[in-house]
Structure 1
Amino acid sequence: MNMMNRSYRVNEKYTMKQFVIVLFIIHFAKALEPCSDYSTITNEESRSPFHQYSFSDTPISDERLTPGWYKIEMNAGSLIPNQIPELFKCGTWNPIWLNGTLPSVPEVQANAQVCVHTIDSVCEYSWFINIKFCCGNYLVYELLSSPVGNSAYCFGNSSDGFVSSSDNTIGCYTQCGLSVTKGTIRLEVKLRFPETCVLYMRRHQTRSPF
């Protein structure tokens, strides 16, 4: 059964105008999906918990970070570590680490505590961020700006308790498209196309529903 596209037969009491309004609502709801609507932090390899900060460099300071959803794209890894990083690691003076466990089930979102490691305490300042594990085997983080100067989120290739899968495509195909039928009229809506759907189709040799 091809579940990449769903058809809905509309009750005749609804007008086409009402129909279009519903489709626009669906479109904007999809656009707000964090697995497809995010910014990226790219090639900031010094955010690794193994990177030693040099005083000749300018420290990364997420005090200036714009709050929002982020996907991490670095060779060093994309996992915020839950092992306490040492001071002057992650390209900054005060590393920010995860005091919890990353979600590892597709489409699950967690609210987790992050801590700033300072000279006085391993968790002198803390707050909560949202983290979502997207089907397609990647994480997105709803990062907040740090209240501490010269502090930065760490990202690497390991985080205790996180289990990754080589084929996390379950559920992706339900997001790929929507078509609606009213009588003999068929409407197809081109929703913002998540990369998880592209991954699913490539892996399963399925054509786009559009």
Structure 2
Amino acid sequence: MNIVFMTLSAILLNIADSTFYCNTSPDPCSSSTSLFEPFARTRNCPYETKYSPCDRYITPGWYKSDDPILDQCPTLNTCGAIYPVWMNDSLPNIGDLVITKKLCKTGFSDCCSKEYDIQIKNCGSFYVYCIPALDACPERICFGTNGSCEYPVTATPQSDEKQSKEYKQLEAKYIGAISAVIVLVCLLSLVSVSIFYYIMKKRKRECEVKESVHEPCKKHDDNIAGFTTDAPNRNCKNVPDVNFQIIHVSSQ
């Protein structure tokens, strides 16, 4: 049962090894590139279905950003994504080497429905980030709290076909999670019913044993009350052996 529960939990939580380690030579402070799709990444920017920016299509590597990565939990539909991703930790200090931190995906129920690993280095006036490709769209890493939410004219709107495909993938993912929950509930219900049936069967067996012990005495008592002359039941204790003689008196 524990194995089944752990397996289903792994499916519901989508636990996977999402760690991507970038090369640290040459120094990422001098070899990093500009942030992938830097527009509308601040916390004040809502999700735009027309463009649907997403970090699933990012090429993992070292990136730098003018705004530091967000280290506070954002709400849904911010940072230009439905599911914003933020750093659940503090930024490294100057002089630190490359540090691995935890990213959290904001979900419907909590601020950390999924975790990713990210490498960060403090380069003095800016930070560089080894950003992994995220699992699904529309997920996006947040940088900064307030900024411009305008999309450049070079930004390509998402086609209806591509948006439909992404939503179908997202829908399939949630259907799989819901199905796993249903299976888990059914298994727990089956176990509960089995335990209940076992307890009731055990109690019934105990009652039958008790009745088998007391029933001979009950029958013997009934025999005495009915003035029968049956032999005494040797399985009963403290029951007197009494024989009754019935005398017939004829009237003269």
TM-score w.r.t. the length of structure 2 is: 0.45
Judging changes above 3 Å, is the alpha-carbon distance between structure 1 residues 154 and 36 closer, same or farther for their aligned structure 2 residues?
Answer: same
Q: Which has the higher contact order (CA 8 A, sep 6+)?
A: 1
Alpha-carbon distance in structure 2 between the residues aligned to 1:38 and 1:132: 11
What amino acid is aligned across from residue 45 of structure 2 in structure 1?
A: H
Residue 92 of structure 1 deviates from its aligned partner by 0.8
Structure 2 portions without partners, runs of 5+: 1-22, 147-252
Aligned residue for 2:35, secondary structure, equals: strand
Structure 1 portions without partners, runs of 5+: 1-28, 159-210
Instruction: Among all aligned residue pairs of Structure 1 and Structure 2, give the percentage whose two residues are the same amino acid.
Output: 27
Matches within 5 A, 1:69-148: 69-73=62-66, 78-135=67-124, 137-148=125-136
Alpha-carbon distance in structure 1 between the residues aligned to 2:103 and 2:73: 11
Alpha-carbon distance in structure 2 between the residues aligned to 1:134 and 1:98: 18
Residue 82 of structure 1 deviates from its aligned partner by 1.2
Q: How many matched pairs?
A: 124
Residue 99 of structure 1 deviates from its aligned partner by 0.6
Larger helix fraction of residues: 2
Alpha-carbon distance in structure 1 between the residues aligned to 2:37 and 2:89: 25
Judging changes above 3 Å, is the alpha-carbon distance between structure 1 residues 108 and 157 closer, same or farther for their aligned structure 2 residues?
Answer: farther
Kept in 2, the 8 Å contact 1:79–1:157? The answer is no
Give the root-mean-square deviation of aligned CA atoms. 2.2
Larger strand fraction of residues: 1
| Per-residue CA distance 1:168-210 (angstroms, 9 max, x = gap) | xxxxxxxxxxxxxxxxxxxxxxxxxxxxxxxxxxxxxxxxxxx
| Alignment match, 2:56 | 63
